[in-house]
Chain A
Amino acid sequence: MSIGDARIRIPDRISRGDLITVNAIISHPMDTGFFRTPEGQPIPAFFVKDVVVTYGDEEVARFVWTSGVSKDPIVSFTLKADREAPLTLTWTDNRGSVYRRAADVAFASA
């Protein structure tokens, strides 16, 4: 996986009003800036500093991270599925790169 590859997992079947668990992972080195390469060169800090969760047009959560979060950071949270709308996660790292993924919250027709 290259830097910025991300996945969002939500349940396959969702009914209106369900409390669903959202799992998300992004491939990122999360370098702290304290390590060195085998040649002795310092590895500069490079980490995801901010994750924004939007559901439809509404911002429902924002996570502020430091380099203390593990490499290839995962995050899991719940969401009250009360309408059909895309769920978007936007990761921003400390070099200004923005990574965005979306998952469609759609209700099962049953």
Chain B
Amino acid sequence: MASESSSRRSFLRRCAVAGAGLFGSGTLLHGERLLALQRPSLGPGDPEVPNEAVAKILKDLFGDRPIRKGHLSLDMPLVAEDGRIVPVIIESDLPMTPANYVKAVHLIVDHNPDPHLAAYYLTPALGSVALQTRIKMKRTTWCRAICETSTGDVWGAYAHVNVSLNGCG
């Protein structure tokens, strides 16, 4: 008797688990759909899917290491009236100690004639990562700031900039 009731109980439990799983996947799908609605730019133009030239640059710089989002901020205007002068501010909260520091920050602009626009090689003597400069942009596209730490971690930040006037000729 005892074994029978236990097998019945386990059957019921399995049913419950399967039902929960179905329900869970349903809500997940719904969530993904919502996310897709919120981000209409998902596709070839999304920063996660770079074009061929950018893909090659990223591959040459970082190999197969994943570029994670975070610890870095790329501050650029949403709309740049003049593509000849687009301000850029790159900041990071990563430590700058001799044991662990940001050794390089790369600035990549996807559709510029030379996408790998600038590279900043840093040392712990700088104390923090807070870079400012002005760049030229050819057209509306994504900009990427990607930093590499001395321990080999790679962090990235992205900004989409609408360019009104071509600054590259």
Contact = CB atoms under 8 A, between A and B. Distances in A.
B125 A69 contact: no
A62 B123 CA distance: 9
A77 B130 contact: yes
Counting contact residues on chain B (CB < 8 A from A), the size range is: 20 to 34
Interface in A75-94: 75-80
A55 B132 CA distance: 19
A7 to B, nearest CB: 15
Interface in A42-82: 55, 58-71, 73-80
Contact of A70 (B119, B124, B127, B134): B134
Contacts of B133: 69-70, 73-76
* Chain A, interface SS category: strand
A67 B115 CA distance: 11
A68 B114 contact: yes
A65 to B, nearest CB: 5
Nearest to B169: A34
A27 interface: no
A62 B119 CA distance: 8
24 contacts: A35-B169, A61-B126, A64-B119, A64-B120, A66-B116, A68-B109, A68-B112, A68-B114, A68-B117, A68-B135, A70-B135, A70-B136, A70-B167, A74-B134, A75-B131, A76-B131, A76-B133, A77-B122, A77-B126, A77-B130, A77-B132, A78-B128, A80-B124, A80-B127
